[in-house]
Chain A
Amino acid sequence: MPVLISPAEREYIINGVDHNIRADGRGRLDYRQIVIETGLIPQASGSARCRLGEGTDVLVGVNVEVGQVDMEGDDEVIRERKSKRGRVICNVECSPIASQQFAGRGAEDFNNELTQTLDRVLNGPQGGLNLEKLCIIPGAECWVVNIDALILDYAGNLLDMVFITTRAALHNTKVPKTIITKTEDGLEFDFSDDMEDAERIEGWENVPIAVTLSKIGSRHIVDATPLEELTVDARLLVAVNKNGKICGVQKGGSGSIEPSLLNEMIQTGGTIGQHVIQKLDEQLEREEKETSKKIVRNESVGKLGFFAAI
């Protein structure tokens, strides 16, 4: 991946954005084609792989396991609330094969940044997932949802893809049903063996996605390519849920954004995010229908995984 850009290229990109014809012919608010497949890792509770255009390749695996509830914290009220909740642990890792800039220790800071962003959006009250429902025995045991994202290839717009793939993987995730029984020593639980009983995590449909708006010149674009990312003055990450509600805003990059433009960017982020979620959910539903059809017909549900051509 180039880490350098010539002044002529920079000018070409800025003018292109201004004229609404970007270097690959897209308009300012157009995404590249996204190829998505869910359920390709049989060992995981849920998984999805997303590829954007010719490059960016994100694999997300969700694993649910039983763990202790988080009882830490100084405040009694917070501790009380935490003890009745499940937990979500996020981890994003850039594979060194994705890009030269991730080789060696280069990806460490970047991994932390991505992990933190994902963690902040998903673990807050705006995260969508119903964490209370993930609690099995209050004060003792709960479901821990491990979300692991692996970046396998890089061609810009990583964060948006991480969020989209995470949402798809959570759609694919099934949590086994637990049966709680009362014994002399208190509460005990057991898993239901029937996989039919496994349920989605409640509230997955409210999980937000992120739209990164990049300010180039005096305008802003979505889905920046690596060369465009080098031209960016400032970035704005807008997390949006399916109702178009803003769930988080984070500014990046060294440049500044005027207040009026900031408002406009958040607004476009909201509408675009809602549109993306709608399209994503349509696709996920279509894929699910196909899969269930195959199961009914007793055909093998062949996932392409890494054997896919595009």
Chain B
Amino acid sequence: MNVEFLLPEAHQNDDDDVEMPDVSDKFVTPGETISVNAQYMRSHGTFSDEKDGIIKSSLAGKVEIVNKLISVRTVHSRYNAEIGDLIVGRITEVAQKRWKVDINSRQDAVLLLSAINLPGGVMRRKTEEDELQMREYFSDGDILAAEVSGTFQDGAASIQTRNHKYGKLKNGSFVSVPPSLVQRCKTHFHVLSCGVDVVLGLNGYIWVCKHTPPLQDVDLEAIYSNENEPISDTTRESIARVCNCITSLARKFMIINDSSITLAYEASFETQNVD
């Protein structure tokens, strides 16, 4: 039985003395002038008056300049899908020949029946029977890892799981962080030294689970199973600790990658433990 009451703390402004080097690293708030120079072109997150051509920000975030194009990237925003991104999503709806997947974006992503691996060989034709069995593969609420394969006209992402790395996630728990904190890396599947696997979705959804060695011969029946493997108490504790580390990093607005998680994990042993 443990309950702890605390007083709120004030914000600490320890980076007051950090200088803002130039325009491209500037942090702006809505309505703030970014540039008075007429040669720049305005892009996402900016607006300008017709008369004077001054570019102002319509969002709170960092100014990004590519050649002559000015845009503002926000710190707290929904995820913008880019082709090739690894994402973690949750099925929200099973529709005709497709699943709708929540990926923390403005719209749900679409996972086509033709974009998944089906049991019985990769090159197998999709039949009507497969359509009827869609819930056997992915059902409402299921969590999966996938790759963004493209975007539709309306901005919705199309995703695919045609690789044995992707697919249903189990044996662990789910953490959500702001998407801007997850760093784009070579790989987003990490094995931490504590025997825990982490799937860092670029959409800010993170899956922390027990380490399972990569499958040698791919058993497709097992890929779509909902059964968890037995998990030992120590692994359970490690998973919980890693999850808490990730939420703490997110709260302090620190970048999230495998090394920052490992460092946070090691540092977490120095703080007192409740039990």
Q: Which A residues lie at the B interface, using CB under 8 A?
A: 2, 4-9, 11-13, 15-16, 19, 21-27, 29-31, 33-37, 51, 54, 227, 271-272, 275-276, 279-280, 282-283, 286-287, 304, 307-310
B169 interface residue per 8 A CB criterion: yes
B30 interface residue per 8 A CB criterion: no
Q: Tell me the dominant secondary structure on chain A's binding face.
A: mixed
Kindly list chain A residues whose C-beta atoms are within 8 Å of the C-beta of B239: 23
Q: How far does the alpha carbon of A100 sit from the alpha carbon of B240 in the complex, in Å?
A: 26
Q: Is the CB of A15 within 8 A of B4?
A: no
Q: Which B residues lie at the A interface, using CB under 8 A?
A: 1-12, 90-92, 139-143, 168-174, 226-228, 231, 233, 236-237, 239-241, 243-244, 247, 251, 274-275
Q: Is the CB of B243 within 8 A of A29?
A: no
Q: Is the CB of A29 within 8 A of B6?
A: no
Q: How far does the alpha carbon of A19 sit from the alpha carbon of B142 in the complex, in Å?
A: 24
Q: A9-B173, A227-B174 are in contact. Are A275 and B8 (CB under 8 A)?
A: no
Kindly list chain B residues whose C-beta atoms are within 8 Å of the C-beta of A6: 90, 141-143, 170, 226
Kindly list chain B residues whose C-beta atoms are within 8 Å of the C-beta of A307: 10-11
Q: Knowing that A34-B3, A309-B8, A310-B9 touch, tell me 6 more A-B residue pairs with CB under 8 angstroms.
A: A23-B243, A27-B2, A29-B2, A272-B3, A279-B4, A280-B5
Question: Which of A25, A26, A36 interacts with B5 by CB under 8 Å?
Answer: A36
Q: Is the CB of B226 within 8 A of A7?
A: yes
Q: Is the CB of B236 within 8 A of A16?
A: yes
Shortest beta-carbon distance from B174 to chain A in Å: 7
Shortest beta-carbon distance from A226 to chain B in Å: 11
| Of A8, A37, A283, A310, most B-chain CB atoms within 10 Å | A8
Q: Is the CB of B1 within 8 A of A29?
A: yes
Q: A9-B173, A19-B233, A23-B173 are in contact. Are A279 and B11 (CB under 8 A)?
A: no
Q: How far does the alpha carbon of A139 sit from the alpha carbon of B83 in the complex, in Å?
A: 73
Kindly list chain A residues whose C-beta atoms are within 8 Å of the C-beta of B236: 16, 19, 21
